[in-house]
């Protein structure tokens, strides 16, 4: 079902973002919900188009891809996104990403907390909760989150939220995990809840998402990796 490769322009992103806003607002009402535009698998033009369309929070999953796109964008402040790192992260990649990444959303273990605190003192992080039980999606078990948060705060990091990826399939399957994540964020007084993607964002917003991370609803089908 791959579409012919259509260049991604700011106009396309703007019109798809308007559709996305309607979907979000139909559930959120007046409650503000932010959008992280997920550009993994697309070229740097998707990042430029996103920022030009007013979606300045941009998410990537792979260290090398993010570093390459940031280098392509250069120092132009008008093109500069707020970079969110979303993917599974090896500690040895942290050093190269420090100074580029603005929000580390996928922090899921003590080793990573310690390395980010060392390479990017005071950085803003979210802790990732594993909601699906699938190891390859990353995330810490919910029960480990309080101690990870304490460790990160002790290390001087700004822990501002929790992130989770719902299971694939019927969006309703994601609801119990989203609910548990939001309850934990409430308990730890963490304001940000980064849950919901293209397919399950209505459920996430109903359960209290403050950020949704959206790729294909903005940019179309991802080219095969
Ligand atoms: C790819 C990805 C997204 C965006 O997924 P879509 O289904 O394209 O909206 C969001 N969050 C994470 C962690 C991802 O890996």
Mean pLDDT, range 14-26, rounded to an integer? 97
Q: What length is written for the chain?
A: 225
Per-residue model confidence (pLDDT) at position 132: 84
Per-residue model confidence (pLDDT) at position 5: 63
* Side-chain half-sphere exposure of 222, counting CA atoms within 13 A: 12
Q: What is the pLDDT of residues 116-159, one digit of tens each?
A: 999 999 999 999 999 988 888 899 999 999 999 999 999 999 99
Above 90 in pLDDT, residue 3? no
CA-closest candidate to residue 212, choices 69, 107, 79, 57: 57
DSSP 8-state assignment for residue 161:
E
- Would you call 45 helix, strand, or coil by DSSP? helix
* Å from CA of 38 to ligand 1 middle: 6
The Cα angle at residue 85 between residues 80 and 91, in degrees rounded to 5: 125
Mean pLDDT, range 172-184, rounded to an integer? 97
Provide, rounded to the nearest whole percent, the portion of the chain with pLDDT above 70: 97
> Which ligand 1 atom lies nearest to the CA of residue 36?
10
> Can you point out the beta strands (E) in the chain?
34-38, 57-60, 82-85, 103-107, 124-129, 158-164, 192-194, 211-214
CA dist 225 → 62, 180, 221 (Å): 11, 32, 12
Q: Which two tokens stand for residue 5?
A: 């490769």
Mean pLDDT, range 73-96, rounded to an integer? 94
CA dist 186 → 179, 183, 190 (Å): 11, 5, 6
> Tokens 């293209």 belong to which residue?
198
The answer to whether the predicted template modeling score (pTM) of the entire model surpasses 0.75 is: yes
Confidence of residue 1 (pLDDT cuts 50, 70, 90): very low
Mean pLDDT, range 172-179, rounded to an integer? 97
In this structure, the number of other CB atoms found within 10 A of the CB of residue 144 comes to: 16
* Å from CA of 154 to ligand 1 middle: 30
CA dist 212 → 6, 16, 178, 195 (Å): 25, 15, 12, 6
Confidence of residue 77 (pLDDT cuts 50, 70, 90): confident
Return d(Cα 74, Cα 100) in angstroms, integer: 11
What mean pLDDT value characterizes the chain? 95
The residue to mutate among 197, 221, 225, having the most atoms of ligand 1 within 8 angstroms of its beta carbon, is 197
Residues in contact with ligand 1 by the CB-under-6-Å rule are 38, 40, 61, 86, 165, 197-199, 213-217
Q: What is the domain partition of the chain in residue ranges?
A: 3-219
CA dist 8 → 1, 15, 160, 200 (Å): 18, 12, 32, 23
* Å from CA of 57 to ligand 1 middle: 14
> Which ligand 1 atom lies nearest to the CA of residue 165?
13
DSSP 8-state assignment for residue 11:
H
Above 50 in pLDDT, residue 91? yes
Above 80 in pLDDT, residue 6? no
Task: Please give the full DSSP string across 107-151, using - where no structure is assigned.
Answer: E-SHHHHHHHHHHSTT-EEEEEE--S--GGG--B-GGGHHHHHHH
Instruction: Considering the domain delimited by 3-219, tell me its CATH architecture.
Output: Alpha-Beta Barrel (3.20)
């Amino acid at each position: 079902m791959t579409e012919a490769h259509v260049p991604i322009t700011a106009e396309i992103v703007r019109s798809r973002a308007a559709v996305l806003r309607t979907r979000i607002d139909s559930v959120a009402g007046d409650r503000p919900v932010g959008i992280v535009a997920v550009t993994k698998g697309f070229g740097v033009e998707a990042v430029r188009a996103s920022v030009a369309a007013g979606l300045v929070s941009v998410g990537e999953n792979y260290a090398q891809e993010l570093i390459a796109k940031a280098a392509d964008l250069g120092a132009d402040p008008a093109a500069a996104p707020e970079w969110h790192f979303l993917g599974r992260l090896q500690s040895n990649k942290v050093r190269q990403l420090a100074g580029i990444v603005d929000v580390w959303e996928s922090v899921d273990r003590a080793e990573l907390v310690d390395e980010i605190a060392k390479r990017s003192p005071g950085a803003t992080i979210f802790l990732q909760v594993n909601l699906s039980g699938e190891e390859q999606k990353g995330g810490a078990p919910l029960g480990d989150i309080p101690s990870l948060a304490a460790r990160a705060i002790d290390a001087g990091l700004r822990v501002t939220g929790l992130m989770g990826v719902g299971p694939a399939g019927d969006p309703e399957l994601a609801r119990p995990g989203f609910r548990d994540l939001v309850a934990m964020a409430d308990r730890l007084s963490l304001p940000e809840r980064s849950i919901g993607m293209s397919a399950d964002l209505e459920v996430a917003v109903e359960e209290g998402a403050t950020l949704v991370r959206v790729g294909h609803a903005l940019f179309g089908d991802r080219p095969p990796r």
